[in-house]
């Protein structure tokens, strides 16, 4: 029976919490009594892509050979919290291995290294391979060490696309595209022979912002100037010795020259680290994640990544159910809505937006962006209580696009003769047998204009801006998270950890209040030889709509 000072056990969750706390109490007692010397340094590995939240794998995923689960930002934060509780610990050595994180994920992991330092722990990074992103992350350490043979690829960032219009024309294939407005570059690689001036302009501004934010962060950690950091990049550092001379790293040494018997793997010290009792019976923050292109119906996980689409499709039905489940839980005091998406279906985006808006009328909703929260990925979060982004998030892209393949010349060349019988002036508006005629263009322009106006109105209402101002910063243009703060599209810079902390603050919760990931499972689509069109039909949901709120995703920046 609970004491008078503790909340009464009411639910199965309470029972689990009490049992967990009992185990923690026993474990902490045991940790104090365990024999053996506490290591003064622990060694951790930094590798993988570091998704925001824990990734659960189903049996089918394991059966298909996809059982490897990369460490998440959530798990790394918990690990850092445990290290900060170890009063016997001097510091941590981080071995940077095969790091494939994007810039926004690296920003979140980097924040945890700074948190370790702020908590009084020394942080040393040993790296054998440093590129733009991994160096940005590793530069947060007290000391950065590399062996003589380390490889350096800190050569600057680029964004681009391969334009295929001329190549497709040789086969008799072309694409008709309509877009609102000039910066909406999704599909340009199929329509144009080269990059448009508008696309070049926004890419140049995006890279300038990325270089500024990462350069200033590196400079602050390395006690130098942003101009010096830019000089390293432009010089083209190729060796550890050169990097040390320029101040990029602190020491040229092999791992065995750095570590001693006092340096032990994390697992060797984890048994001595006290656990934390979870508050029972209190309220919590729910976390819902939207990852992938937005489609109607259920979320789907594809067995292989597809060009332009990746391997995840975020279904509106699944996301709406997850948001409603969070709202129905009587313990939910606030919600964090994590979005990492370049958009997709205008209809599905609007359905998710509506649920977020209704939820924000009941409780604080803090939206937080991953590497990409653009077009429909921005639309869904316009009415959150607050919006948070990484400096290197790609966001905005307030616009509409539609396109279709035109195979008229291809059919003529190869003897295909598509024929049909129709009723209705626009019955074959999306037919690939010919391009749009003038009346069809007028109809589609009106349709897209209505969607764009609705998008602009959503942003204006949710962000407290005039529609005229939204149109000025919209027009399909993408912005960095840092620039988006200045424009009013985003409230502040941060990561998922910061979003959870802010949600607790807005809800009046204690800093140690728990958070929980609301299940929004993906259905896996295995390859099916008897049904080879499975993947195409699934992705095809995006093209059941004539117009899309979708951003033309550039190549990844590393």
Compute the half-sphere exposure of residue 383: CA atoms within 13 Å on the CB side of its CA: 21
* pLDDT tens sequence across 281-300: 689 999 999 999 999 999 98
Angle at alpha carbon of residue 547, lines to 546 and 550, rounded to 5°? 135
Burial classification of residue 435, based on how many CB atoms lie within 10 Å of its CB (0-12 exposed, 13-18 middle, 19 or more buried): middle
Q: Do 12-155+236-270 and 284-401+436-550 fold alike per CATH?
A: yes
> What are the distances in angstroms from CA 77 to CA 125, 335, 503, 536?
17, 19, 17, 38
**How far is the first Cα of the chain from the last one, in angstroms, to the nearest whole number?**
55
C-alpha triplet 495, 203, 157: angle, nearest 5°: 70
**What pLDDT score does 333 carry?**
97
Q: Where are the beta strands (DSSP E) in 90-228?
A: 91-99, 122-127, 129-131, 143-146, 151-153, 174-180
Place 274 in a pLDDT band, splitting at 50, 70 and 90: confident
Per CATH, the homologous superfamily of domain 284-401+436-550 is: 2-enoyl-CoA Hydratase; Chain A, domain 1 (3.90.226.10)
Q: Tell me, what's the pLDDT at 27? A: 58
Residue 316: pLDDT band (50, 70, 90) is: very high
Mean pLDDT of the chain: 87
pLDDT at 282: 80
Q: In this predicted model, what pLDDT tens digit does every residue of 386-411 receive, in sequence order?
A: 999 999 999 999 999 999 999 999 99
| 449 pLDDT above the threshold of 50 | yes
Q: What is the pLDDT of residue 453?
A: 96
Mean pLDDT of 316-323: 95
- What is Dmax (Cα atoms) for the chain? 85
- pLDDT of amino acid 548: 77
Q: How confident is the model at residue 529 (pLDDT cuts 50, 70, 90)?
A: very low
Least confidently predicted of 48-62, 89-103, 299-313? 48-62
Cβ within 8 Å of residue 209, ≥6 positions away: 391, 392, 479, 480, 482, 483
> What residues contact 341, with CB distance under 8 A and at least 6 apart?
290, 291, 292, 293, 294, 314, 372, 373, 374, 376, 377, 380
Give how far Cα 256 sits from Cα of 93, 145, 251, 252, 367, Å. Answer: 12, 12, 13, 12, 44
Residue extents of the structural domains in the chain: 12-155+236-270, 284-401+436-550
- pLDDT single digits (tens) 66-79: 444 558 999 999 99
**129 pLDDT higher than 80:** yes
DSSP run (H or E) holding 473: helix 467-473
Q: Is the pLDDT of residue 154 over 90?
A: yes
Residue 167 confidence (pLDDT): 96
Q: What is the mean pLDDT of residues 473-495?
A: 97
Kindly give the interhelix angle for 496-507 and 103-118, rounded to the nearest 10 degrees. 70
pLDDT at 535 over 60: no
How much is the pLDDT for 531? 45
Confidence band, pLDDT 50/70/90 cuts, at residue 275: low
What architecture (CATH level 2) is domain 12-155+236-270?
A: Alpha-Beta Complex (3.90)
Using 50, 70 and 90 to split pLDDT, how confident is the model at 528?
Answer: very low
The token duo for 267 is 């697992």
Mean pLDDT within 170-185: 94
The residue-averaged pLDDT of 484-500 equals 98
> pLDDT tens digits, residue range 9-57?
456 556 656 565 565 565 555 556 565 678 899 999 999 999 999 876 5
pLDDT confidence of residue 539: 54
pTM: 0.89
The yes-or-no verdict on residue 232 having pLDDT over 80 is yes
pLDDT at position 506 is 98
Residue 38 confidence (pLDDT): 82
Query: Residue 127 corresponds to which tokens in the numbers above?
Result: 């790296």
In sequence order, the 6+-apart residues with CB closer than 8 A to the CB of 404 are 175, 176, 430, 432, 436
Task: Please say whether the beta carbons of 17 and 284 come within 8 A.
Answer: no
Assign 61 a pLDDT band (cuts: 50, 70, 90).
very low
**For residue 198, what are the CA distances in angstroms to 163, 194, 459, 468, 476?**
15, 12, 22, 20, 10
Is the model more confident about 118 or about 29? 118
Asked if residue 52 lies in contact with residue 340, where contact means CB atoms within 8 angstroms, the answer is yes
Residues 197 and 201: their CA atoms lie apart, in Å, by: 6
Instruction: Encode pLDDT of 235-253 as tens digits.
Output: 999 999 999 999 999 999 9
CA-based nearest residue to 539, from 211, 296, 184: 296
pLDDT of residue 125: 98
Percent of the chain at pLDDT > 70 equals 82
């Amino acid at each position: 029976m609970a004491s008078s000072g503790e909340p009464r056990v009411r639910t199965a969750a309470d029972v689990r919490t009490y049992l967990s706390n009992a185990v923690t109490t026993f474990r902490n007692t045991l940790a104090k009594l365990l024999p053996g010397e506490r290591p003064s340094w622990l060694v951790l590995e930094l590798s993988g892509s570091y998704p925001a939240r824990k990734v659960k794998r189903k049996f089918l995923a394991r059966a298909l050979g996809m059982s490897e689960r990369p460490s998440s930002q959530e798990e790394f934060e918990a690990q850092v919290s445990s290290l900060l509780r170890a009063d016997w610990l001097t510091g941590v050595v981080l071995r940077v291995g095969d790091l494939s994180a994007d810039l926004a994920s690296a920003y979140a992991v980097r924040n945890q290294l700074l948190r370790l330092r702020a908590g009084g722990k020394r942080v040393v990074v040993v790296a054998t391979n440093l590129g733009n992103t991994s160096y940005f992350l590793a530069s947060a350490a007290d000391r950065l060490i590399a062996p003589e043979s380390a490889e350096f690829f800190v050569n600057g960032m680029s964004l681009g696309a391969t334009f295929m219009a001329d190549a497709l024309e040789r086969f008799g294939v072309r694409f008709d595209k309509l877009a609102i407005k000039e910066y909406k570059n999704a599909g340009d690689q199929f329509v144009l022979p080269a990059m448009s001036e508008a696309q070049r302009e926004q890419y140049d501004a995006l890279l300038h912002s990325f270089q500024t934010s990462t350069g200033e962060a590196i400079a602050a950690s390395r006690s130098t100037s942003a101009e010096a950091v830019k000089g390293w990049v432009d010089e083209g550092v190729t060796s550890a010795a050169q990097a040390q001379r320029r101040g990029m790293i602190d020491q040229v040494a092999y791992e065995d020259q750095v570590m001693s018997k006092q340096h032990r793997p994390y697992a060797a010290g984890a048994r001595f680290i006290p656990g934390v009792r979870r508050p029972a019976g209190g309220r919590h923050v729910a976390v819902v994640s939207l990852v992938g292109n937005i489609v109607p119906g259920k979320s789907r996980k594809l067995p292989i990544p597809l060009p332009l689409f990746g391997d995840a499709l975020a279904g509106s039905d699944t996301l709406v159910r997850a948001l409603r489940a969070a709202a129905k839980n009587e313990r939910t005091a606030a919600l964090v809505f994590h979005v990492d998406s370049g958009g997709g279906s205008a209809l599905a985006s609007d359905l998710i937006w509506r649920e977020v808006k209704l939820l924000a009328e009941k409780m604080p909703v803090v939206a937080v962006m991953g590497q990409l929260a653009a077009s429909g990925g921005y639309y869904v979060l316009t009415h959150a209580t607050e919006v948070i982004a990484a400096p290197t998030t790609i966001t905005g892209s307030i616009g509409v696009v539609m396109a279709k393949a035109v195979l008229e010349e291809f059919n003529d060349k190869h003897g295909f003769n598509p024929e049909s019988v129709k009723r209705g002036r626009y019955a074959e508006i999306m037919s690939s047998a010919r391009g749009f005629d003038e009346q069809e263009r007028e109809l589609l322009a009106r349709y897209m204009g209505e969607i764009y106006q609705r998008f602009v109105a959503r942003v204006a209402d949710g962000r407290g801006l005039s529609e005229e101002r939204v149109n000025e910063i919209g027009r399909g243009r993408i912005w960095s998270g840092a620039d988006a703060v200045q424009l009013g599209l985003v409230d502040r810079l941060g990561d998922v950890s910061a979003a959870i902390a802010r949600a607790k603050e807005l809800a009046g919760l204690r800093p140690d209040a728990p958070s929980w990931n609301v299940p929004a499972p993906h259905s896996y689509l295995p390859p099916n030889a008897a049904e080879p069109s499975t993947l195409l039909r699934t992705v095809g949901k995006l093209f059941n709509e004539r117009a899309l709120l979708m951003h033309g995703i550039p190549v990844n920046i590393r």
